[in-house]
Structure 1
Amino acid sequence: MASAGLLVIVASAAAWINGLPWAHWTLALGLLWLLTVLRGWFGDAIGESEGGRYGRNIDRSYRWSMSWFIFSEIMFFGAFFGALFYARTLATPELGSLDSKLLWPGFTATWPNAGPAGLVETFKPMGPWPIPTLNTAVLLTSGVTLTIAHHALRAAHRARAAFWLFLTIALGFIFLGFQSFEYFHAYQELNLKLTSGMYGSTFFLLTGFHGFHVMMGATMLSVILIRILKGHFTPEHHFGFEGAAWYWHFVDVVWLGLYVVVYWL
């Protein structure tokens, strides 16, 4: 059922890009279908867990599954970091080499650049201050508050765990708010867009997909917060919390790499 929903979503997105008038409706239906399936699916898993039906092997399978999922996310971001490395370290020096001077005599092999063909509008790169640096502080702080919430849950201090988890979620949405303002600033004041050559495409893909992962992580943690308030989890058995925490810390680490490579180097 989930696969059928995904098929409808992808097919509708392709149809929408090609201008078919009904595609946005089927895309919305596909999303609604998928969310309904996931709610029932995850609800069954939560009910089985709270009903004491999960043993050691099931717990181990969930841990391995979450580990492999995060590994796939590492490879996902590795591809975009690899594209940025290729553009900066290999392609740009090659375009500025003596062999390319006949084709693009005015091109200078610096990063960022507007490309050798003069097809990209002039733009200014995004610097590390103030929003990216503030967002780095926000995410690092959220990692600390999440760790405090985890220790509180392990100590059976449910109210304290809920408070620090709520603070973590709030910091995640503050991060997204800052990033939205950063994109507005990029488009309106720096003329930096997704179409701004290789720099623009890698900047928005890396930071945009990371922002999407922050939103997904905040959604996961929100579900965990609701479960804590409902009395789920015990100090000994709370992998739902741990799995979401793994994901959130992964998002923190990716942002540190982005902050250094995209904004400083």
Structure 2
Amino acid sequence: MSSTTGGSTPYYFVPHPSRHPAFAAFGLFFVIMGAAQWINGAGWGKWAVLFGMLWLFGVLFQWFRDAVRESEGGQYGRKIDLSFRWSMSWFIFSEVMFFGAFFTALWWMRAHSVPALGGLDNSLLWPDFKAVWPTMAPGATASPGGIIDPFQTMGPWPLPTINTGLLLTSGVTLTIAHHALIAGNRTKTILWMWITVILGATFVGVQGYEYFHAYSDLNLKLTSGAYGSTFFLLTGFHGFHVIVGMLMLLFITLRLMAGHFTPQRHFGFEGAAWYWHFVDVVWLGLYVLVYWL
């Protein structure tokens, strides 16, 4: 449904009723239910998560395919472009709040929770606890309850620093690709986009090795007290966002190779670029607060 104002592009566009939102919610139901059962020891939970993820990815593929067809069919005018920009802006703002909550949790652990456990109020309940961060001092990790095994912290060198260089470089290559697209040089744009995607994939690989190193060599696990839980919470969710951003850039690159986007109209590219730069900025905060401090 659309209305034109004398030109070929509609002034507004209202899509037809779609099954995609309901089908996506069906897949998310299995993901959430399966994850809840999985962490509580139910063996079938992981299969429910797998089914839900595969179902959701299938729905998203069809949903995005329809959106691409509508865009390439000339259905999206200036008003739709503006609504997309506002929507992406609010989405990134919600992600800022998401990570802001995690950074606040890290600060609260270090500045309030751990010192409070070592205060006079808890001295009778836990007399041997040492209020230090990270919780790895004698008597802190080897707790009176024996629930936390000794571990080592993850330092900034070399893996986190390598990943920092990879992400910062990917931001530069993405910017070069954007300027090439504005200049109408599609070949150069595609080349630098592929370089950006490869850098993002390399980041994920390095972080995967970092987790292997943490578990096997440092005995640093999700159960390693407050430090372990916040470390994997922050870096794990950021790694998930890197994977999402990398997939976004990959699909944008494939669309560029298919002839989509023009120097004047390419918000799909810009939206993915906004998201990737946001991921870069979050990592810089993680790099300083998690690995250095």
Report deviation, 1:235.
Answer: 0.1
2:171 to 143, 158, 183: 143
- Aligned partner of 1:174 in structure 2 is 202
What aligned pairs does 1:225-240 form with structure 2 within 5 A after superposition?
225-240=253-268
- Comparing 220-229 with 98-107, greater Cα deviation is found at 98-107
User: Aligned residue pairs: how many?
Assistant: 265
Which is bigger in relative contact order (C-alpha 8 A, separation at least 6)?
A: 1
Structure 2 spans left out of the alignment, 5+ residues: 1-22
CA deviation vs aligned residue, 1:153-185 (integer Å, no higher than 9, x gap): 000000100111111111111111111111111
Report deviation, 1:60.
Answer: 0.8
Aligned equivalents of 2:202, 2:186: Cα separation in 1 = 24
Structure 1 spans left out of the alignment, 5+ residues: none
- Aligned partner of 2:89 in structure 1 is 67
Aligned equivalents of 2:34, 2:223: Cα separation in 1 = 24
CA deviation vs aligned residue, 1:94-150 (integer Å, no higher than 9, x gap): 122234333333322211014564521111111111111111111001000000000
The yes-or-no answer on 1:41 pairing with 2:44 is: no
Report deviation, 1:31.
Answer: 2.1
What aligned pairs does 1:90-109 form with structure 2 within 5 A after superposition?
90-109=112-131
1:185 to 200, 213, 219: 213
2:241 to 210, 213, 224: 213
- Comparing 221-230 with 50-59, greater Cα deviation is found at 50-59
- Aligned partner of 2:156 in structure 1 is 128
Q: TM-score, normalised by structure 1?
A: 0.95
- Aligned partner of 1:156 in structure 2 is 184
Change (3 A) 1:19 1:110: closer
Q: What is the RMSD computed on CA atoms of the aligned residues? A: 1.6
- Aligned partner of 2:283 in structure 1 is 255
> Higher helix fraction: Structure 1 or Structure 2?
1
The yes-or-no answer on 1:199 pairing with 2:227 is: yes
- Aligned partner of 1:223 in structure 2 is 251
- Other structure's SS at 2:163 match: helix
Change (3 A) 1:199 1:53: same
- Aligned partner of 1:165 in structure 2 is 193
Aligned equivalents of 1:139, 1:255: Cα separation in 2 = 8
